[in-house]
Amino acid sequence: DDFYKGEGPAVGFTDHAKTIPVMVGTVFGEFAMAPLPFNKEQIPEAELDAILDNRFQGRGKELKAVFAEAYPGKNPADLLTLDTIFRGPTREFVRALAAAGGSVYSYLFALEFPYQNQKTAWHCSDIPFVFHNTELVPVANIPGVSDRLEEQIFGAVMAFARTGKPEYEGLPQWPASREDDEATMIFDRVCEVRHNHDDRLLKLHAEASPKFDLAAMMAKMGDEIQH
């Protein structure tokens, strides 16, 4: 009806919406719900290159180079589970709200789990960290890592709820994003803020990727889907 005009990036933000701080983000491998069929730490580079070329229409090596700039230290095999379905629109929202004068804080949950060949963060895998109850989720427990990251994420969320700013002493300084500068907090084994870190990667990934079909993917995976 006439009450809802559409999403902010498309139709603009109301004056009231611009006064409400926003903390918004995604996980690294949103649709990484199936087990990786190989050990990414042991697969020969030539074999992985062939897999990436097949997946990305012959542009695997090009994507590898850009991926290494966006996510230094990550295994190039993680390109196979990298989310762009949610990440792209989230980035557009962040920049549109910042351009409109809103206060918006961007994050990306990028933890790798010691599970199913070092699984990248999948849909909802950040929730135990946000709610400070990783002890209830065995796969989320990583000695020397998960307890610290849980405190950092929970601390930022609680600070944001209280003040509208995710300022937590256990994290690097996390500024609000600007229209031309998305300051994204990367929640990982080592947390850091990176600026416009995946602009080139998202553009190239979109050009090289086949059309995403969630229904076909879920039908193919069947009982292997993890949520």
Cβ neighbour number for residue 16 with a 10 Å cutoff: 7
Assess if residue 107 is contained within a domain.
yes
Domain count across the chain:
1
Question: What local confidence, expressed as pLDDT, does residue 34 receive?
Answer: 81
Question: What local confidence, expressed as pLDDT, does residue 36 receive?
Answer: 87
DSSP 91-116: HHHHHHHHHTT--EEEEEE-PEESST
Reported as a single tens digit per residue, the pLDDT across 33-63 is: 888 889 999 999 999 999 999 999 999 999 9
Model confidence at 103, in pLDDT bands (50, 70, 90)?
very high
Reported as a single tens digit per residue, the pLDDT across 134-160 is: 999 998 999 999 999 999 999 999 999
Whether the full predicted model's pTM is greater than 0.85, yes or no, is yes
DSSP, res 212: P
Distance between CA 84 and CA 174 in Å, rounded? 23
Assess if residue 108 is contained within a domain.
yes
Distance between CA 133 and CA 183 in Å, rounded? 27
Model confidence at 211, in pLDDT bands (50, 70, 90)?
confident
Which of 2-16, 60-74, 167-181, 213-227 comes out lowest in average pLDDT? 213-227
Q: Are 195 and 178 in contact (CB under 8 A)?
A: no
Q: What's the CATH number where 200 sits?
A: 3.40.50.1820
Question: What local confidence, expressed as pLDDT, does residue 219 receive?
Answer: 63
Assess if residue 202 is contained within a domain.
yes
Tell whether the model's pLDDT for residue 170 goes beyond 70. yes
Assess if residue 9 is contained within a domain.
no
Assess if residue 223 is contained within a domain.
no
What domain range includes position 133? Answer: 26-216
Distance between CA 177 and CA 158 in Å, rounded? 19
The whole-chain average pLDDT of the chain stands at 92
**∠ CA(75), CA(80), CA(83), 5° rounding?**
100
Assess if residue 221 is contained within a domain.
no
What would the mean pLDDT of 165-180 be, rounded to a whole number?
97
Question: What local confidence, expressed as pLDDT, does residue 33 receive?
Answer: 80
Assess if residue 178 is contained within a domain.
yes
| DSSP-based three-state secondary structure for 127 | helix
Question: What local confidence, expressed as pLDDT, does residue 210 receive?
Answer: 78
Tell whether the model's pLDDT for residue 220 goes beyond 80. no
